[in-house]
Chain A
């Protein structure tokens, strides 16, 4: 079965420093991978996705993610963190069971706290 894991409940980083939010996955076949962000009292917002092609995917708000097939990872990164990046981040993987029935499986989320 497809699954995704976010090993860290919380990541703390100082403003201006690089940040990494980790995600590992387990799929059969080629993975479709996603990152979403949830700001306080808001719904989730799409950040970026990997389906095929370049292993480094660029997304919204200066975020990027690196797909690593050998390590089955899809870590979210940003070169310089902002206090406004503080939010809950979700990794997700496609669960393929047919075109009209494929679903997303979300990780449990990682809370990113950026300190001034």
Chain B
């Protein structure tokens, strides 16, 4: 039982480059989320999805785009990376809205933008 899987785990980009982070879950969860974790700031929600084909903005959506074409996958894209996007990114999923139940997290993707 893999749970939530994120790829890649590490990536170094140059300013202006683009990339996509992939999140896959095998628990048939409706809800999926992308967070970023920065020192002293906890976790901040970037975008989320309440079901296949839906996406919504979170707390810090600027500079990111997302897609949920399949229920099990949630993609996070950076069109033109900036050093401020250097962070650790976590994907999570849940069977209920995140405020009501348990979130299941991936192991994180560490992104460095030079």
A interface residues with partner B (beta carbon < 8 Å): 9, 32, 36, 41-46, 49, 51, 90, 94-96, 99-104, 106-109
User: Is the C-beta of B2 less than 8 angstroms from some C-beta in chain A?
Assistant: no
Interface of A is mostly: loop
B interface residues with partner A (beta carbon < 8 Å): 4, 40-45, 48, 50, 56, 58, 90, 92, 97-108
Partner of B100, one of A36, A43, A102: A102
Closest to B50 in A: A100
User: Would you call B102 and A49 a contact (CB within 8 A)?
Assistant: yes
Q: Which of chain A's residues have a CB closer than 8 A to the CB of B56?
A: 101
User: Would you call A103 and B99 a contact (CB within 8 A)?
Assistant: yes
Scoring A41, A43, A51 by chain B CB atoms within 10 A of each residue's CB, the highest score goes to: A43
Closest to A2 in B: B99
